[in-house]
Amino acid sequence: MRADIPIGRIMQKHNIESRREIVEIGVLNLKNSAFGKDCTVLSRIYRIIHDKKTLIWINEMFPLDDRWSL
C-alpha cells in the first residue's frame, strides 16, 4: 500500500462502508514537536468504524500560527 493514497480512496476501492466518530477535539501546547520547539496546535482524534469495530484511529494536529495565513 502506498503512503500517498488517501484513506478514503482505499476504502472506496474496496467498498468498505464506515463512519467517523469524533473522540476528542482540543488545543494543545506542544514542546519540541515536528512543528517546532514550542507550538500550539488544534488536535482532532477520531475513529473510523466498520462493522461496529474500530478500523482506524486517527490523531490529526494542525499548528495554530502564521504559517497558514493567506
Report the C-alpha gap between 67 and 45 in whole angstroms. 22
- Looking at the 3D structure of the chain, how many domains does it have? 1
Candidates 58, 55, 60; CA nearest to 42 is 60
9: in domain: no
pTM of the model: 0.71
What pLDDT, in 10s, does the model give residues 6-24? 888 988 999 999 999 999 9
27: in domain: yes
Residue 57 has pLDDT above 70, yes or no: yes
7: in domain: no
Q: Tell me, what amino acid is at 60?
A: E
What pLDDT, in 10s, does the model give residues 21-42? 999 999 999 888 888 788 889 9
Which domain covers residue 58, as residue numbers?
19-65
